[in-house]
Structure 1
């Protein structure tokens, strides 16, 4: 693991419901932020992949499983992990922890498309960068 593939943040009231528990959708914002920050640390901007790599990526699937609640002022770490690199798509996992315990496990699958929006292969450069992500630490469905 490195600081390039994870973000740490403290929950605020705006992240939580009226009971002070993290609102379920807040995790998606942090998954996207972790991914784009990590990609940027490797010299790529997710919105500018076409000129750099000849592809665009589109999100085709996402999900999150909530293992325990997180509350206002909890400090969470969102760790990006490599779930899968296929021929034309890839899945990045996200492990949200609080004091080392798994809170939420998310994932986002991205498909590669060419300039005509036809399915295309994951570029070698991108596949190589993806393979720098650590493996998942938690064995969860």
Structure 2
């Protein structure tokens, strides 16, 4: 299942040349992951309050292929690649008119509120498959 999140590039997202500043792609994929998590029925505030668990990014591999520019409409596609007892690996691509501009693999883990690693809850493992 592919989750799609649409966004517009604003002036604040760009550098002096009108090209998206490289770190902003990480913000774009973060927003898309938050919406993806919500779309599968996980309430992160509830997970923290009831189970004392939060999601954290453990690793990001990123390839910058083509520049996005001011006023572009972008789509972030999120696909689950791997789910284990301790991690979720997602493929997240940023596209403009079907062309991949930025491609990434993101490893997500669960942490306790004190920052210690924790297993992914079984219900979440089932939801993200």
CA displacement at 1:6 relative to structure 2: 1.6
Q: Secondary structure at the match of 1:129?
A: helix
Change (3 A) 1:55 1:24: same
| Contact 1:49–1:56 (CA under 8 A) maintained in structure 2 | yes
Gaps of 5+ in 1: 132-141
Q: Is 1:31–2:29 an aligned residue pair? A: yes
Which of these residues, 100, 103, 106, is aligned with residue 104 of structure 2?
Answer: 106
TM-score (norm 2): 0.84
Gaps of 5+ in 2: none
- Give the number of equivalent residue pairs: 129
Structure 1 partner of 2:92: 94
How far apart in 1 are the matches of 2:45 and 2:54?
Answer: 8
The CA RMSD measured in Å over matched residues stands at 2.2
TM-score (norm 1): 0.77
CA displacement at 1:80 relative to structure 2: 0.8
